[in-house]
Structure 1
Amino acid sequence: MSEDMWLAARLIPTSGINGAEEQERRATSAVLAVMSAVREFGRALTQPLGAPAGPVQTFIEVPFKIGDKQLFPDGLIRVSRGQRQWTALVEVKTGSNELRADQVESYLEIAREQGFDALITISNEIPAVAGQHPTPVDKRKLKKVSLYHLPWTEILTQAVMQKEYRGVADPDQAWILGELIRYLEHPRSGAMEFSDMGPAWVSVRDGVAAGTIRAGDTVVAEVAGRFDALMRYACLRLGRRLGAEVTPALSRRDVAEPSLRTQALVSQLSATGTMTGGIKIPGAVGAMQVTADLRAGRVVCHVDVDAPKSGKPTTRVNWLVRQLKDAPETTRLEAFVMHGRGDGTAGLLRQVRADPSALISDPSKELRAFRVAMSAPAGSKRGTGRGAFIDSVLAAIDDFYEQVIQNLKPWMPAPPRLRTPEDLQPVEPVSPSLVSTAISSQDGAAPVPPAVAQRRSGDAADEADQPQAAAEPANIGAGAQSEGDNL
C-alpha cells in the first residue's frame, strides 16, 4: 500500500464513536480541553458570558447531589483572576438530541446551591435571536444564576475566526485549535449544521400554496422561528468565511422582545406567503435583505444603496452600474426619487447598461437611492441537499454577497482642491488709509506712501519730457532739410 493511503494521526480522532453518549462525552472533553489549552479561544468563548480575563480550568462529569439524587453535569468551567472566581456548569447535546427543561432546571438548582455564576448549554439548536435560550425554563431559577446557550455552529465559528483571522500567539496552540476545528467539521462529531426546517414545514408550505394558512395556526409560528434560526445560521456561516462578526439585522425592539419579531413574521407569512430576514455585514454598503416567497418559489436578496449627492441623474445611474461588473445581467435595479412614495422605476441590469435613462422617469427629480436585487429558485424540501429550501437560501445569500455586495462602495464627495494662481479672482484696490502696516496674505502689492508716490510720478513726468525735447531739433532739422530738397 502506498503512503498516500496512510491515515494521519489526529489529536481528537473520530473513530470509535459508537453511540450518542460516547459522541457527547468526546465532544465535551475536546471543547473544554482546548478552551483551557488555547488561551485566546477560551477567552473568546467566556468573555461574552461575563468571565474575567484569566486562566481557564475545565472539568468533565463533576458529581453533585440534589436531595437523594446524584447528578453529573457534562462539564464545569472555572476562570480565576486574583481573588475573583467565575464558575459555570456545562450541559452538552450532540446530533439531533435536544435540551430537556427538567435537566436544565436541575443544573440551575445545583449552580444556585453551589454559588456558581452560570449554566452554559451547548447543542445544535439555534435560537432565532442571539441571547435567547431554546429551552423555556422557570424564570424564578434565573434570579441568581445566568443561563447561556452556545450552538455548535457558533463554537466552530469562533474557533475558525480565532485561528484564521484573529490569530493564536503560540504555534503549538494554533495547531491544537486546528485539530478541534477538524474534529467539529467531521460528520461523526455530532456538531451538525442547520439541516432541518422542522416537522411543520411541509404542512405550512402546502398551506401557503393552497391559501389556507392563518396567523393563528401554531405550525406557522414554528416555521417562522425556524426561518429566523436559518438566518442566524447563515450569519455565522458567512462570518466564518469572511472573518467578521456577521449578525442578523434586527431592530432594538426585536432584540429586546423576540416574540414581537416572531409575531410580525407570522403575520407576513400568513398574509403574503413570504418571510423576510436581514443580515448585517461589517463594512458593507447596507444590510442584505433576504425574502423567501413560498407562493412564487423564489428567494430574493436585495440591498439599498444611497445615490450620489451630486451629478446628473444619468451620471448617478452610471456610478452604480460601473460597480456591478460581476453581477448577472438579470439583476434588477430600482431607482427612488427624493420625496417620492411607492415603488421606484425598475429595470434589468442589461437594459440599464445599454440605456441609463431607463431608470429615470423624470429628469427634473433628484435620485435618492437605488435598490439592487437578485432572484433565485427556492427549494421545497425540508432538509438539505438538492432541491432543499435551506441550501437554496444559503446559495442565494453567498451568490448575492459575492457578485453584488462585496463590490459596492458608498459614494464619497471629491476632496477639496488647493487653489492655483489661475483660480484667484482680482479684487478692488483698498484705500491706502485702510491698509495695515503689517504684511498679510490678504494684501496685494506692497502699499506705497503718498510722498513717495508723488515723487515717483514727478520723476516719471521728467523722463517723459526729455525724449520729446531731444526729438524736437531733429524734427526741425528734418523739416528744413526737406524744404531745401524741395527748393
Structure 2
Amino acid sequence: MRGTTETYIEVPFDTSEGRVYPDGLIRVRRGARQWTALVEVKTGKNELEARQLESYLDIARSEGFDALVTISNEIPPVPGQHPTAVDRRKLRKVALHHIPWSFVLFTAIMQKEHRGVADPEQAWILGELIRYLEHSKSGALELDDMGQHWVSVRDAVASGTFRANDGGGAEVASRFDALLRYAGLRLGQQLGIDVTPALSRSEIAQPQERTDNLLRRLAAEGVLTGGLRIPHAVGPLTVTADLRANRVTCQVDIPAPQTGRQLTRVNWVIRQLKNARADLRIETLVARARGEGPTELLEKVREDPKSIAPEPGREIKGFRVALSVAMGSKRGRGRGSFIDSVVETVDEFYGDVIQNIKPWAPSPPKMRPAPELDDDALSSTDLSSQDEAVAGV
C-alpha cells in the first residue's frame, strides 16, 4: 500500500503480563484507508522467539493492526516463509512477515547503485545506511554459520550412516537453502537484478516438501542440491554439495543450436567458453538417449571437439557445463568453510561461464531473390510459364 507513512519506535502496550515495547510501529495512510504493522528487530546472533512474537500478534489483533514485521539475520530457506514457528491460529487476522538484514542491504544497494535516487539528500542518507549495514559492528551479519548439527550430519553422511529422519537433518537442509538464497542475494547485488531460488510451485506452497526432498537425496546419495534463477541467463544455475566426495559443483544446461552438424554445434559452445578455465567439464546431451552423454574437460575438447560428439546420426540437444571444486567443511566462515566454498564457486561460475553464454537463435529467413529478366527474351519467367507446353495449344 502506498501513501503517507508514519513511523514510531518503542510504542508501549499493556498486556496481562505487563507493559511491553515492540521495537517499532509503521502506519501507512491513503485516503480513508490505512495499514498498520508492529516491528520487531534482532541483530547479531540474536534469534526471534516464538513466545515474544505470539505476544505481539495478540497485541496487533486486539488493536486492529494488520501485520507484524520482523527483521533479523535469520534467512528463511523459502522466500515468504518465516524462520520462527508460531501458533497458526494467531495468524488468522494478523499477517506475519520477515525481512533478513541481508535483504535490507541488498534492496538498499539495488536502489542506490542500479535504480538511482533522484533526491541528493535521500541518496546521501541511503548511502550512509549502506555504509552502516556493511560495517562489522552494525549487527547486520552475513550468513556465517551452518548450525550446531552441521558437523554431526556431515560426518554421518560421509560414513553412510545418515538417515532422512535423523535429528539435525532438517536444520542442515534448511540452512543449505538459506545459503543458496544468500548466495543469490550477493550475486544480485553485483548484477543489479533479482536472483531467486529455483523452486517448483509445490515447493514454494509447501516448504516441507522441499525439505523432505533434500533429506531423501542426502541420505541416499550424500548430496545437497538446489538452484538459482537468474533473469536473462541461458538457464538456472544448479549447485550441488557432495558431502561424501567433499566437492561443490555448479552447473548449467545450455540448449544447443537446432541447425548444423554435430561438430558445428560443439564448436558453437567452445567459442563461447574461449576464456573459461580449462578444468570445466562439458557433457553432451543427446536427444532420445538413455544415460549420460559423452563428456570431457574443456581443455581436451578445445584440442579435439570430436571427443564429445555422439555417434553419427544422433542429435545433440544441449550441453551441460560444470565446475567442480573442493568443498570446505567448517560450519562457520573463513578459509576452509563450507559457506565460503559455495558462495565463491557460485560467483566464479557465473562470471566465468554463464554471463558469457548467449543463447542460440535462428537466423531470420531470407527473401527469395527475384529472377533477372532479359529484355530481349520473348518468353515469360513467371513460374506458370515454366510448365511444359500442352499439345494443341
TM-score of the alignment, normalized to the shorter chain, above 0.5: yes
Kept after mapping to 1: 8 A contact 2:263/2:305: yes
Distance in 1 (alpha carbons) for counterparts of 2:59 and 2:372: 79
Distance in 1 (alpha carbons) for counterparts of 2:271 and 2:66: 55
Within-5 A mapping of 1:28-67: 52-67=1-16
C-alpha distance after superposition, 1:87-117 (max 9, x if no partner): 1000000000000101000000110011111
1:427 aligns with 383
Query: For 1:105, what is the secondary structure of its paired residue?
Result: helix
Matched, 1:243 2:192: yes
1:269 aligns with one of 212, 218, 223: 218
Within-5 A mapping of 1:431-470: none
Kept after mapping to 1: 8 A contact 2:310/2:316: no
C-alpha distance after superposition, 1:187-220 (max 9, x if no partner): 1110000000001011111112222111120211
Distance in 2 (alpha carbons) for counterparts of 1:341 and 1:426: 52
Larger helix proportion, structure 1 or 2? 1
1:126 aligns with one of 72, 75, 82: 75
Counterparts in 2 of 1:102 and 1:311: CA distance versus 1, 3 Å: same
Rg larger for:
1
Within-5 A mapping of 1:88-487: 88-422=37-371, 427-429=383-385
Larger strand proportion, structure 1 or 2? 2
Counterparts in 2 of 1:430 and 1:367: CA distance versus 1, 3 Å: closer
Query: For 1:340, what is the secondary structure of its paired residue?
Result: coil
Point out the more displaced range, 401-410 or 76-85.
Answer: 76-85
Counterparts in 2 of 1:124 and 1:68: CA distance versus 1, 3 Å: closer
Distance in 2 (alpha carbons) for counterparts of 1:111 and 1:428: 83
Query: For 2:383, what is the secondary structure of its paired residue?
Result: coil
Counterparts in 2 of 1:109 and 1:423: CA distance versus 1, 3 Å: farther
Offset of residue 417 of structure 1: 1.9
Query: For 1:107, what is the secondary structure of its paired residue?
Result: helix
C-alpha distance after superposition, 1:436-469 (max 9, x if no partner): xxxxxxxxxxxxxxxxxxxxxxxxxxxxxxxxxx
The one-letter amino acid of 1:201's match is: W
C-alpha distance after superposition, 1:133-174 (max 9, x if no partner): 111111111010000000000011010101111111201101
1:43 aligns with none
Query: For 1:276, what is the secondary structure of its paired residue?
Result: strand
Counterparts in 2 of 1:421 and 1:382: CA distance versus 1, 3 Å: same
Distance in 2 (alpha carbons) for counterparts of 1:289 and 1:415: 32
The one-letter amino acid of 2:288's match is: H
Counterparts in 2 of 1:113 and 1:398: CA distance versus 1, 3 Å: same
Counterparts in 2 of 1:78 and 1:346: CA distance versus 1, 3 Å: same
Offset of residue 402 of structure 1: 0.3
Counterparts in 2 of 1:430 and 1:314: CA distance versus 1, 3 Å: closer
Offset of residue 338 of structure 1: 1.2
Distance in 1 (alpha carbons) for counterparts of 2:357 and 2:319: 12
Query: For 1:429, what is the secondary structure of its paired residue?
Result: helix
Query: For 1:106, what is the secondary structure of its paired residue?
Result: helix
2:390 aligns with none
C-alpha distance after superposition, 1:273-315 (max 9, x if no partner): 1100100000100000000011111100000011110000100
Offset of residue 428 of structure 1: 3.6
Query: For 1:160, what is the secondary structure of its paired residue?
Result: helix
- Unaligned 5+ segments in structure 2 are 374-380, 388-393
Query: For 1:95, what is the secondary structure of its paired residue?
Result: coil
Matched, 1:72 2:28: no
Matched, 1:84 2:40: no
Moved over 4 A (4+): 422-426
Distance in 1 (alpha carbons) for counterparts of 2:16 and 2:220: 52
Query: For 1:421, what is the secondary structure of its paired residue?
Result: coil
Counterparts in 2 of 1:395 and 1:68: CA distance versus 1, 3 Å: closer
Query: For 2:264, what is the secondary structure of its paired residue?
Result: helix
Offset of residue 66 of structure 1: 1.6
Distance in 1 (alpha carbons) for counterparts of 2:199 and 2:167: 23
- Unaligned 5+ segments in structure 1 are 1-51, 432-487
